Amino acid sequence: MNDAYQAGPDGRGHFGTFGGQFVSETLMHALDELREAYGRWRKDEEFIRKMDEDLAFYVGRPSPVYYAQRYTAAAGGARIFLKREDLNHTGAHKINNTVGQGLLARHMGKKRVIAETGAGQHGVASATVAARLDQSCRVYMGEVDIHRQAINVFRMRLLGAEVCSVTSGSATLKDALNEAMRDWVTNVDDTFYIIGTVAGPHPYPEMVRDFNAVVGREARRQMLELHGELPDALVACVGGGSNAMGLFHPFLDDVDVKMYGVEAAGRGLAGGEHAASLCAGRPGVLHGCRTYLLDDDAGQIRHTHSVSAGLDYPGVGPEHAWLKEQGRAEYVSATDEEALGAFHQLTRLEGIMPALESAHALAYGFKLASDMRPDQSVLINLSGRGDKDVQTVAELEGLSL
Ligand SMILES: *Cc1c(COP(=O)(O)O)cnc(C)c1O
């Protein structure tokens, strides 16, 4: 562990050699405007008060830290605590960020928001906030994903968003991303682009982290109140990395608190059917920043696989790449099968059905706790609830609803 951990990013959005702004000249103007606006409003008392109010009365914060007694007994080691982001409005941590960016859009005088989504969760969180703030909302989604995620598409439409089908390339998330960027460049005067994780060009990785850091700030305080001391380890799943970064960030200076980010190992790291950029990828440039990613020998972004749509992304936020390089956080993985096992186990032992994304963190956290002493503790981020995954689980196990 590195005692001299440096907080980032620097003024140009670099986390060590990662991050930055790898975008066309036309996008630089939009990013500059956003960086300036965020720099100003983040320190504005009225903005902060409004944000706190929305998190309390709309999202339902603070979410509790729950001592999972039966889950702990089953692991037979360290005490296991769960940060209950599954109890938030719309069922996951993503709303923390969209509430923040929606509010920022309003303060910047932008009447229109756009987003891109793969699994549809970020699209729903964006459409939710846009409905409340009376912003027009367009969500770009690959045609293939639109078919796979029909319920979320319907949700977005009920909320008043326009879901725009993207047919170029592989018609999935990365193509939707390109389309959203194109829209933003063309309509930057009245449009705000809501990115859903700690990736993309500066200032997004920093801004999305800050909006999710409420998770870690609360958890730190709650552990001290409930347990009298900080946890020995934090565990969170990593897709793009926003729920993990939000939990980790307020603990970075607590050098005795270990951090584990759990990536999706899919059908196994060896076979290539996974989404584990930090465990099995290499540095490169993706979606406007330098980070770890999954590509082939020719430098083409590889097809990824995970049982959980929310972890199925070929890159990762640049700050995680930096934490990995500094050794401040450790990145591990859990397979589809392990995640499914954890999904059932938590459901049966605690009556809490986790999102399949969060089940990756549970699978690793459970193993970790079982190798630790009873006087130690592990805090696992339960990033979302599993209601959205019931059909997936049924199909995987050959059951009909
Ligand atoms: C989207 C999602 C994730 C993955 O996104 P991160 O940016 O890595 O947090 C994890 N859990 C849930 C429940 C999600 O909806």
Question: Do 80 and 222 belong to one domain?
Answer: yes
In a domain, 258, yes or no: yes
Out of 205-214, 305-314, 321-330, least confident range:
305-314
Look up residue 294 and give its two tokens. 């999954």
Q: pLDDT exceeding 90 applies to what percent of the chain? A: 90
Both 304 and 224 in one domain: the answer is: yes
34 and 104, same domain (yes or no)? yes
Q: Judge if 184 and 317 occupy the same domain.
A: no
Any domain includes 124: yes
Residues 33 and 161 in one domain: yes
- Asked if residue 336 and residue 316 are part of one domain, the reply reads yes
Residues taking part in catalysis: 94, 116, 383
286 in the same domain as 143: no
Which range marks the domain in which residue 254 is found?
Answer: 61-91+213-396
The reply to whether ligand 1 has any atom less than 6 angstroms from the CB of 238 is: yes
| Domain boundary pick from 153, 183, 208 | 208
Question: Does some domain include residue 321?
Answer: yes
Q: How many domains does the chain have?
A: 2
pLDDT band at 198; cut points 50, 70, 90: very high
Residue nearest to atom 2 of ligand 1 (CA): 310
Q: Is there a single domain that holds both residue 244 and residue 143? A: no
Q: Is 124 in the pocket of ligand 1 (CB under 6 A)?
A: no
Span 313-328, average pLDDT? 97
Ligand 1 pocket test: which of 87, 89, 90, 93 has the largest number of ligand atoms within 8 Å of its C-beta?
Answer: 93
Q: Quick one: what percent of the chain has pLDDT higher than 70? A: 98
- 75 & 168 share domain: no
pLDDT (0 to 100) of residue 155: 97
Residue-level pLDDT at 5:
58
Residues 176 and 137 in one domain: yes
- Domain membership of residue 158 (yes or no) is yes
Does residue 199 sit in the same domain as residue 101? yes
Given this model, what pLDDT does residue 89 score? 98
Residue 1 has pLDDT above 50, yes or no: no
Are residue 261 and residue 133 in the same domain, yes or no?
no
Q: How high does pLDDT run on average in the chain?
A: 95
Q: How far is the CA of 59 from the centre of ligand 1 (A)?
A: 16
Output the pLDDT for position 2.
Answer: 39
**pTM for the model:** 0.97
The answer to whether position 147 is within a domain reads yes
Q: Is the CB of 222 under 6 A from ligand 1?
A: no
Answer whether residue 139 is part of any domain: yes
Residue 25 Cα to ligand 1 midpoint, Å, equals: 31
7 domain-assigned: no
Of 190, 208, 226, the residue at which a domain comes to its end is 208
| Site to substitute for ligand 1 among 122, 238, 243, most atoms within 8 A of C-beta | 243
Q: What is the pLDDT of residues 244-276, one digit of tens each?
A: 999 999 999 999 999 999 999 999 999 999 999
Model confidence at 127, pLDDT cuts 50, 70, 90, reads: very high
The pLDDT-based confidence of 400 (bands split at 50, 70, 90) is confident
pLDDT tens string 2-54: 344 567 899 999 999 999 999 999 899 999 999 999 999 999 999 999 999 99
Q: pLDDT tens for residues 202-238?
A: 999 999 999 999 999 999 999 999 899 999 999 999 9
The rounded Å distance from CA 263 to ligand 1 centre is 11
Question: Per-residue pLDDT averaged across 82-109, rounded?
Answer: 98
Chosen domain end from 208, 240, 255: 208
Q: Give nearest CA residue, ligand 1 atom 7.
A: 242
Q: Is residue 367 part of a domain?
A: yes
Q: Domain holding 316: CATH number?
A: 3.40.50.1100
Ligand 1 neighbour 246 (Cβ under 6 A) = no
pLDDT, one tens digit per residue, over 270-302 is 999 999 999 999 999 999 999 999 999 999 999
pLDDT of residue 4: 46
